[in-house]
Structure 1
Amino acid sequence: MANTLVMILAVALYLFSGAIFSLRLFRAGAGTRPAKKLGLIPGFSALLLHGWLLYESLHTLQGVNFSFFNAVSFAAWVIALLYLLAALSKPVESLGVVLLPIAALTLLLDYFFPGIRLLPPHTDWELRAHVISSILAYSVLAMAAVQAVLLAIQDRHLRKHHPGGFIRALPPLQTMEGLMFEMILIGFVLLTIALISGFIFLDDMFAQHLVHKTLLSIFAWLCFAILLWGRYRFGWRGRTAIRWTLTGFVVLALAYFGSKAVVELILKR
């Protein structure tokens, strides 16, 4: 019962925080625009409650429960944490309109569709480090993907000379693009660490149950590597950068959660 109330409160706080950031976007320049801290305080409060619920569901006497919706909820928690920390000093509030409701949704899914997928209680620290770096890489690159979508919307409106609505509240196109590439670079470094640690510490990254994840992760890594090289060498930006970013993220999402969803939710293994 206590967990249910905490979950409901966390969901409500996430949605309230997202609504405040939405109002800040759509009322840019208006005198009734809510203060930034009015969105940050409930966001961080929801984050604390979400973290407590995750601790309760992840840690069991038999080991760490890393079932599909647990893993998705954990990734959403990390994304929300990174977003809220970034929002303290960077103009990334617009991401909260998407990221915070998604975090609330993952809480609901984890609550209504619990599962069991245990990691042994004495899992080596190397494997834990590999899992954590993988989740961090996915989280940062997920933020970059959302930023790419907002950038695409902004670019389309500006090309059609319709910079109305919330588009006027977004930072300048160049600033938005710069933030996206900062996220991509950080995520790329983390993804590199995740892949290297996997090849060093896991017995066989090309074992039957891992080969699809490995190949898709490498392909995603190549997408981001090519994008960063193109940015450095040829100054890639705009639609080219958006396409490479979204392609890389979709492939990475399939690598991290696609096969896990098939095995646990469809095949019931």
Structure 2
Amino acid sequence: MPIILIAAAFYLLAAWLVARRLQVDRGAGAGFWQLTAVSAVVLHGLFHVLAWRATAAVDLHFFSALSLVGLGMAALTTLYAATGRMGALGVVVFPVAAACLVGYGVSGGSAPRDLGWRLELHAWLALLAYAALAIAAVLAIMLRLQERALRQRQFSGWLRVLPPLTELESLLFRTIWVGFVLLTATLLTGILFVHDFFAQHLIHKSVLSILSWLVFGALLLGRWRHGWRGAKAVRLTLVAMALLVLAFFGSKFVLELVLQRA
């Protein structure tokens, strides 16, 4: 539990430092918040590793999966910030990661079971895809807010620390591509390795995941063939992400917390 509290404190501190940097509109102290974020990510991952070692199995149930997605989002945000001006993501992502970690710690975890390497591979791909596409959803919202601010000529401090509109849009689609590839691999391994992939209690998860994949695929195709961008790209990204949320965590919530099925 101390690791959780320290990691959560580091996440919140990093988010506050980023927010303060946006308010004063300066780059000073950027290295410090990145160091704080890296410390939080390392401690977050360490907590999961220690929990898995204690039970000799990987826990991928609802709260653990939620925490792992938060970890992936925080790690990706920190990586983006190290290669460009995307520290603003941390204002949203770091508190979310802290909340997911604390939620996992408070829940006490679940009794893990050995899934075998095939199902674990499927689960890890799903978590990575979800983390990447969740970042894409945050980027889409930021892109929409940036477009609106530019249209209304509101050149505030937070706007000036973001990359140019075209660069932010390019980052959005690169992130969607990564998430789409991971989601494709998730669906393929599900079909190959999950024997009851289309069983009754998984049919909603399967259908919603495929619908999300189709929407993301249509967006990428439209971007390539017709140059889709702006509001249309934002809407499709958020619709696809909403479907994925319902497919992944919606189904896990109902199955594991409501129906008490492993």
TM-score under structure 2 normalisation?
0.94
Residue equivalent to 2:185? 193
Which whole-Å deviations, capped at 9, do the CAs of 1:38-77 have from their partners, x for residues lacking one?
Answer: 1111111111111111123345547332221111001111
CA RMSD of aligned residues (A): 1.6
Distance 1:245 1:110, change over 3 A: same
Letter in 1 for 2:205: K
- In structure 2, the partner of 1:75 is 69
Deviations 1:198-253 (A, max 9, x none): 11122131011221111111000001000001101110000000000011111111
1:25-104 to 2 correspondence within 5 Å?
25-28=22-25, 30=26, 33-61=27-55, 63-104=57-98
Deviations, residues 1-50 of structure 1 (Å, cap 9, x unaligned): xxx2221111111111111122222222x4xx432211111111111111
Deviation (angstroms), 1:255: 0.8
Summarize the Cα distance change of 1:168–1:85 in structure 2 as closer, same or farther, 3 Å threshold. Answer: closer
Equivalent pair of 2:15/2:94 in contact (CA under 8 Å): yes
SS at match of 1:81: helix
- Give the Cα separation in 2 of the matches to 1:66 and 1:192: 20
SS of equivalent to 1:63: coil
Q: Which residue of 2 aligns with 1:154?
A: 146
Question: Which structure features the higher share of helix residues?
Answer: 2
Q: Show structure 2 runs of 5+ residues with no match.
A: none
- In terms of mean alpha carbon deviation, does 110-119 or 93-102 score higher? 110-119
Could you tell me which of 19, 22, 26 is aligned with 2:19? Answer: 22
User: Could you tell me how far 1:168 is from its partner in structure 2?
Assistant: 2.3
| Higher deviation after alignment, 52-61 or 87-96 | 52-61
1:114 is matched with: 108
Contact 1:66 1:117 in 2 (8 A): no
Gaps of at least 5 residues in structure 1 are none
- Correspondences of 1:186-265 after superposition (within 5 Å): 186-265=178-257
Say if 1:23 and 1:34, in contact at 8 Å, map to a contact too: no
**Contact 1:20 1:34 (8 Å CA) reproduced:** no
Partners of 1:99 and 1:220 lie apart in 2 by 22
Q: How far has the Cα of 1:254 moved from its partner?
A: 1.1
> How many residues end up aligned between the 2 structures?
261
- Percent identity reads 40
Change (3 A) 1:91 1:168: closer
Contact residue 59 and residue 65 of structure 1 kept, 8 A: no
